[in-house]
Amino acid sequence: MSRKKVLLVWLTLSLLLSLVAAGPVAGQEDEIVIGVYEPMTGPQAAGGELTMQGVYLAHEVRPEVLGRPIRLVLVDNRSDKAESATAVQRLIEQEGAVAIIGSYGSSNSMAGGEVAERAGVPVMGCSPTNPLVTEGKDYYFRACFIDPFQGRVMAKYAVEELGVEKVAIIQDVAQDYSVGLAAFFREAFIELTGDAKGIVAFTAYQTGDQDFTAQLASVMAKNPDAIYAPGYFGDGALLARQAREMGYQGYILGADAWEAPELIEIGGSAAEGILITSHYHPEAELSPASQPFVELFMEKYGERPSAFAALGYDAYMLVVDAIERAGTDDPKAIRDAMAETKDYEAVTGTITLDKNGDAVKDAVILKVEDGEFKYVGTVKP
């Protein structure tokens, strides 16, 4: 045989082999597949990893439902909208997921949600907080509160507890999460103070930007008492650092997506004093389920759980609970059971899903102190 023929035969064989390997024989017949799409690489990778800590722990605690083993399949959405849509498609078509968990990042979730909706597979969002993730969607639910509430919580805290009168808002225009939250905060702030002039600056950056000195110089010329920048943790760390380097001395306020170890590692001393809204803190005592969870978590990972780990844990448990109540692995039946979730005792609070599929829950305020997120208080809806 000539070299070319050998090569051809070899290629054909390896192609056939790969087809066999990718076929449905990979798993057991009776298993139930729960898909997860999360950012494991890219600028939101930390959020994905924190969430997965909780999901893996939950899977260890409840590896079976309806007497059948659960197979967890994770697909990386690379912090990217287009990749998120592909990830959900892969979970449904290739992996045969009957329910899906995801994703950190509202934009990722909105892109993935379109695909799940068309395929008729239910998704339980762990931490996407933008209202549009579930709005008009029959198959998208979430274990967390939404941004109109989160924005209001921080506005209220800034006005009533910190005495902020002049605030500057810096949003990330490429993230639905950030744009939504900035608008909700602004609305609530004006409503609370009755003074539209209290928003002294409203400016923006885009995911991937690292230099905020131009925005900060313009903002600081207006002497705000506080800067509210509801973006992601990496941007937050650099923004805080550059603000402090340029001599800014007011408050720096963020939201739940700033809760990652990176905010403190990268922000260094500039991160000290940062205030954020979040979903959970081990000391907040939001639910009786919290304490046992914290113990299990500490045992497995040797550190305290973050809000995202807690939400990942809750999202998995909510999915399993819905499958159990549905009594079948039919996605439509699971969806219907999920929609009826009521008074579920989750780690992050008691969850009853409203007509949009959103959880209505308490928010917590956290403050960075001595290189840690410290619990400040709880705000009820």
Partner 1 sequence: MTVSLFFQHLANGISLGALYALIAIGYTMVYGILRLINFAHGDIVMVAAYVAFYGAAMYALPWWLAFPLAILLTAGLGMIIERAAYRPLRGVPRIQLFTSAVAVSFLLENLGIVVFSGRPKAFPRPAFLDKPLHVGDVIIISYTPVAVAVALILFGGLLYIVHRTKVGMAMRALSKDIETTGLMGVDTDRVIMIAFAIGSALAAAGGILLAIKFPQINPLMGVVPGLKAFIAAVLGGIGNITGAMIGGFLLGIAEIMIVAFFPQLAGYRDAFAYTILIALLLFRPTGLMGEVEPEKA
- Cβ proximity to partner 1: between 260 and 337 the closer is 260
Q: How far is the CB of 154 from partner 1 (least distance, A)?
A: 21
Q: In the complex, which residues of this chain contact partner 1 (CB under 8 A)?
A: 40-43, 45-46, 49, 171-174, 201, 203-206, 208-211, 213-215, 217-218, 221, 234, 237-238, 241-242, 245-247, 262, 265-266, 268
> Distances from the Cα of 163 to the Cαs of 151, 157, 159, 363, in angstroms?
17, 9, 5, 20
Nearest to partner 1 of 140, 232 (CB atom): 232
Residue closer to partner 1, measured from CB, 45 or 55? 45
Distance of closest approach, residue 75 Cβ to partner 1, in angstroms: 14
Minimum distance of partner 1 from residue 129's CB (angstroms): 20
Check whether the bond before 103 is cis (ω within 30° of 0).
Answer: yes
Shortest Cβ distance from residue 240 to partner 1 (Å)?
12
Tokens 């260890």 correspond to 60
Task: Give the residue among 120, 256, 68, 96 at the shortest CA–CA distance from 177.
Answer: 256
For partner 1, give the closer residue by CB, 40 or 188: 40
Contacts of 335 (CB under 8 A, 6+ apart): 120, 121, 122, 138, 139, 322
Residue with smaller CB distance to partner 1, 93 or 211: 211
67 C-beta neighbours (distance < 10 Å), count? 6
Residue with smaller CB distance to partner 1, 16 or 221: 221
Rounded to a whole number of angstroms, the minimum distance from the CB of residue 48 to partner 1 is 9
Task: Name the burial class of residue 342, with classes exposed (0-12), middle (13-18) and buried (19+) by CB atoms within 10 angstroms of its CB.
Answer: exposed
CB-count burial class (<10 Å; 0-12, 13-18, 19+) for 18: exposed
Least distance between partner 1 and beta carbon 234 (Å): 6
Token output for 192 = 């609370």
